[in-house]
Structures are given as C-alpha cells and as structure tokens.
Chains A and B, each alone.
Chain A
Amino acid sequence: MFDLIDGPAFLSAIGILTQSIGSWGWIVPGLIVGLVFGALPGTSITMAMALVLPLSMHMDFLSAVVFLTSVYTGAGFGGSVPAILMNIPGTTASVATTFDGYPMAQAGLHNEALGYALFSSTLCGIFGYVVLLFLVEPMAQVVLTIGPLEMFAVAIWGLLLLGSLGGRYVSRGLFAVAFGILMGTIGMNTAGFIRGTMGVPEMLDGISVVPAMLGLLAAGQLLNLAKNEYILNSEGARTISLRRILDGCVGTFRYPGVMLRGSLIGILIGAIPGVGSSIANLMSYAETKRSAKNGESFGKGNPAGVIASEAAVASGEGGSMATMLALGIPGGGATAILLAAFMMHNIVPGPSFIEQHKDMTYAIILNNIIQAIVLLAVGVVFIYIVSNVVKIKTKYMLPAILIISVMGTYSVDGSISGPITLFVAAVVGYLMARYEYPVACAVVGLVLGRMLETEFLRSYQVSGHKVTYLLERPVAIGIVLVMVASLGFTAWSKRRNRAAELAELAALVNGPAR
C-alpha cells in the first residue's frame, strides 16, 4: 500500500512555493501564451511550448516549470475556443467539444458554450491535479502494467467511438477512421518495411501529422466558411455578453455528475502515453451521451456534451503529468517538451525524481492547481476578447488564419512539403465535410495510425504469435468487452433515432391519417 501523501514533503512544497514568489509571476504570461496558441487555428500546444522553451532556459527550475506548465494549461482550454466558434478543434483533444459546442454557437449560444467550457476546464483541472497529489505513485504503477495490447485496445475503442459518434452516418465515420489509420501507417514501420512513400524520401517518416491535421481540421473548415460573410450567419448570434459567459460558467454546476465522470475518465485515460489526450474526450462524451436521459439531444447543442469533453481534457492533464513525473514518459509533444525542460535543468523525471524530490513534485502539482484557479479569471477576459472574432468578416479572417496555418506548417521542418501537405489535406478535408465524412475521425486515425500498428506488432511479438495471448490479459479483455457493449449501444441508438426522424418526417409530409 502507498501512503497517499507525504506530510513533511507536502509542507516543504508549500515552503518552496512561498519562498519562490517570483515564479508565480510567470503563471499569467504562460496562460496567455497557451490560450493564444491553443485558440489560433494554425498553431499548436507543441509549437507554443517549443517557442518558449529557450526562454525558460534562463529561468530557475521552478520558474521554468511554472511557465511551461502554465502554457500547457492555457493551451488545453484554448483549443476549445475555435472548436466552439468555428468547428475547428485546436488539438485532437478538443474534437468532442465541436460536437455540441459548434451547434450551440450556431444557435447564438457561443457565450454560454465558452462559459461552460471554461468552468468545467477549471474545476476538472483542479480535480485532476488534486487526485494527482494523492495518487501520483499508485497511478504510475498502474501505467506500468499497461502493455502494448491494452494501449492498442484503448486506441481502437476510442477510434471506433469517434467513428460512430462523430457524424450522422456510422458507416462514413468508420470509413474515415480506417482511411486515417491507413494514411497514418505510410512510411517505415517498426519492422523496417517502407510502404506508400512513392519514392519520396521525406515520406519515410510518414505523412507529416501537424500539416495534415491543420489542413484537414482547420483549412478544410475555413474553405467551407469562405461562402459565408461571417462565421456565424445570424446577426443576433454574434453578440458578445460577459453576463452570458458568466451564466455559462455558473450553469456548469448543474452538471456535477457529468464533470465527475469526465474527470475520472480523463485522469485514467489521460495517463496512457500517446493515446490518452486524443481519446479521453471522446470516451467521456460517449459515456455521458450513453447515460443521459436525453441522449438524442447530443450533437445538437447540449451543454453536457461540451462539459463532458472539456472535463476529460482538463483532468487528463493531471493524468499525463503523472506519467511524465513518475515515469519520465511523455504523453505527447507538449509533455515531451516539458521533459526537455526538466533535463535542461539537469533534472530527470521518474521514480528516483519522486523519491528524492518529493517536495518539488508536490510543489509542481500545487502550482498547477493554482494555475487552474487563475485560468478562471484570465480565461473569462480572454474569451470575452476572443469572442469578437465572430464579428470579423470572413474576408479578413480567412486569409489571416490560412497564412498563419501555412507559416505554422512550414515551421515544422522548414520545407515546402508542409504547406503542400496542408493544401492537399485542406481539399480532402473540405470534400469529406461536404459529403458528411467526419473529418475528425480521419485526423485522429492519422495521428494514432502509426502507434496502433506499432503496438499491434509488439503485442504479436510479445505473445509469441499466439492468439490466446488475449486471454492472459484480463485488462485487455475488459476493454474489448466494454468496447463491444458501448459500440453496440451507440449503433442501436443511432438507428432508433434515425427511424424516429424518418417516421416524423413521413408524418409531416403525408399529413394526418384520414
């Protein structure tokens, strides 16, 4: 059994924080940088943290960590802003936010939607870090028991959920997922086989994920917006109201169960390296929809959908932080940069770090809790300002965002392949959206495709080529059973709703029976 919290180390952590008051000054700038980069289509959390990393080299360790984790925290919420206002998730972690956030914006409820997103992000972020405070070591031990088969199962589950929830047609969703996965396997796999590169050396590492993601998610949607004068057509929908933003914040308290469920899912799934951040929001959304009395209202502007997604995203940061601090394993690009920052200060996260610097570990976690609280104030001001984007005509906004996107893709490796990939992906993304193929499915499939194949091959090798290996992994069996149940329910639910819609329409057209 583990002692849940080390009292003396905790008190020492408070001492560290109070003695390093100067480091607190980096919270607001970090949050603002994160919010801006997270909210701007064309940029990413990883880009933001990579940009500020050199700056952090000149700071002491705690200030550097405070600054970088503030950027991480800010960007985590920032991605929900374009997801709600423009149907463009800032990262794959905000995909599920678009399902209900964008319909709310189209109905003129963007103020409330942003308020729901901000408050659930703050509260559940705090919850995630409080859990981390007590359970950082036990969580790390759980993560160590997760093998390639479990990671594969979780990723497939998330992708199939996305395929079934992401759009009106399950078949198109699953097709988009499969297409994305296959595109993600292009290049050299872990067994050394080179596929689909068409003789282009730059393709050895596969399709560049950042440009493809930006093209599919952002540029494709922006091309679609080119036919509108504003991103929200109705003039009444373009009002900005601080009161309504705060109404949204306060309204979050009507969904305590949704927040708790989303937080727990986010912490558990967010801790899984490489997979967690993309999948947690989808699972939280799916589970909330499944257990809701009015499940058919999801996807049409139900606030619970926004809250479920953002709760998982925010609390997932605690989960991925647990893996990084306790095991030294980054969950993704952003935590990899955090890891780099640690190493630049000659600190190596992992079991020995926690053992020898438990007080510093607690100080980092406590500081993240403080960041989440400060995010509330900074976030309200930020979304009040940023919401004015709905008043900007598309003829000014579209060229600006597309230019920033092109610059952002060029910055990945300094070659023209980035912008060209962006263009091709934008055309594909536009056409996919045009014919109701959920673009997010293809994106998440592309992001996870290589990881899926790698973990599958590892499982195959570790199992000694035995299919019965699955029976030796009870966690994987559990995941598969839950996956089958949740997918079956989702498919049945969609079919039932579709039949009801058609029956209603037929009744309207035919008129009352004579």
Chain B
Amino acid sequence: MRIGRTRYRVEWAHLAFSTVMAIVIVAYLLDVRAVSTNIMNTIFVQPVGLIAISIYLFIAYHCFRPMTADLTVAGEADALDDDQGEGLPETLRVVGMMVTLGLYACSLNLLGFDIATWLFALVAMFICGERNALKLVFFPIILGFGVVYLFQYIIPFPMPMSII
C-alpha cells in the first residue's frame, strides 16, 4: 500500500482484529454513558476505556510498516515473526474445529447432551485427521455417552438427554 511517496506493508488481519476489539470497547463506553453520566458509573470505566482506545491507536499506527531501505530488514523480520507458518489445511482445520465447537454448544439442548456430544466427538476427530472407521465409531461413543453419563452424577443440574 502506498501513502504519498512511501510504500507500507499493512498487517490487515491484525488491524481488523484490533479494530473489532476497539469497536467493542467504544460501544461499551457509549452504553455506559447512555445508562448514566453519574460519576459513580463512569469514574472507573471511562478512563480505562480511553486508555484502551489510546493504546489501540498506537497499535493501529504500528500496523502500517514503512518499507524504506533502512527498515526493510526489520519489516521482513517482523513479518517472518508474525507469520506463524500456517498453511491453508491447518487454518481450515482450526476454523472447522471452531465452527464445530459453536454448533456443539448451541445444539446441546436441541439434540440432547448425549447425541450432541457424540456428534461433536465424531466430527472433531474427523477434522483432526482420524480416518480409521473403527476408531471413529467407538471413541465418540465412549466420549459421547460415557463422559456425559458420568457428568450426570457430578453436575447438580438436569442435562437433557435423547438416549441415556
């Protein structure tokens, strides 16, 4: 990216993530002020929020790395450090696990703890690379039904089940 006469290498993903966090902070601060501007409501949260935003601006500024002759080496070094060597398959595996975890959390009441856990174990093992059909059958059964069955006796709250 070029700004004026200088080329910049921009850490777009990092900038986006830190900006989302900053937006959450700003939204929270606005909500705090909307509730009341009484000093007992804002005296702690407001300064901390403003400090957080200031730090965000500092971080955002440093997401733009000028690619001058002198600093090219440092920029490349940091780029090498920031790039954790993740290929597409690894990233997809992580994203797959995230989505599966989210679906598992949301489906506990819908499908029942036993079925939801069994399904999660099955899908998670598959995503992580298990292809042995026997292990894909038995291990999720042990986890899905065995662990949930045990937790029924530990957790003092009802756990909706489909089969157990």
Contacts and interface: CB of A to CB of B under 8 A. Distances in A.
Contact of B128 (A172, A181, A185, A226): A226
Interface string A152-184: 000000000000000000011011001101100
A196 B28 contact: yes
B3 interface: no
B51 interface: yes
Interface string B49-77: 10110011011001000000000011001
Interface string A480-514: 00000000000000000000001001100110000
Contacts of B109: 416
B128 A395 contact: yes
Nearest to A502: B74
A410 B129 contact: no
A182 B25 contact: yes
Interface stretch (A279-287, A318-326, A337-345, A430-438): A430-438
Contacts of A387: none
Contact of B90 (A227, A399, A407, A414): A227
Contacts of B38: 191, 193
A423 B105 contact: yes
A411 interface: yes
Interface residues on A, range: 35 or more
Interface of A: 51, 171-172, 174-175, 178-179, 181-182, 185-186, 189, 191, 193-196, 219, 223-224, 226-227, 229, 393-396, 398-400, 402-404, 406-407, 410-411, 413-414, 416, 419-420, 422-423, 426-427, 430-431, 434-436, 452-453, 456-457, 460, 502, 505-506, 509-510
29 contacts: A179-B25, A181-B48, A182-B48, A182-B49, A189-B40, A195-B35, A195-B45, A223-B94, A224-B94, A227-B93, A395-B124, A395-B128, A396-B139, A399-B120, A400-B143, A402-B104, A406-B108, A410-B157, A411-B154, A414-B155, A416-B105, A420-B105, A422-B105, A453-B44, A453-B45, A456-B44, A502-B74, A502-B77, A506-B74
Interface of B: 13-14, 17-18, 21, 24-25, 28, 31-32, 35-36, 38, 40-41, 43-45, 48-49, 51-52, 55-56, 58-59, 62, 73-74, 77, 82, 84, 86, 90-91, 93-94, 97-98, 101-102, 104-106, 108-109, 117, 120-121, 124-125, 127-130, 139-140, 143, 147-148, 151, 154-159
The 4 nearest A-B residue pairs measured at CB: A414-B157, A395-B128, A227-B90, A178-B52
Given A182-B25, A226-B127, A403-B120, 9 more contacts: A195-B45, A196-B32, A219-B101, A226-B94, A414-B157, A427-B98, A435-B13, A502-B77, A510-B73
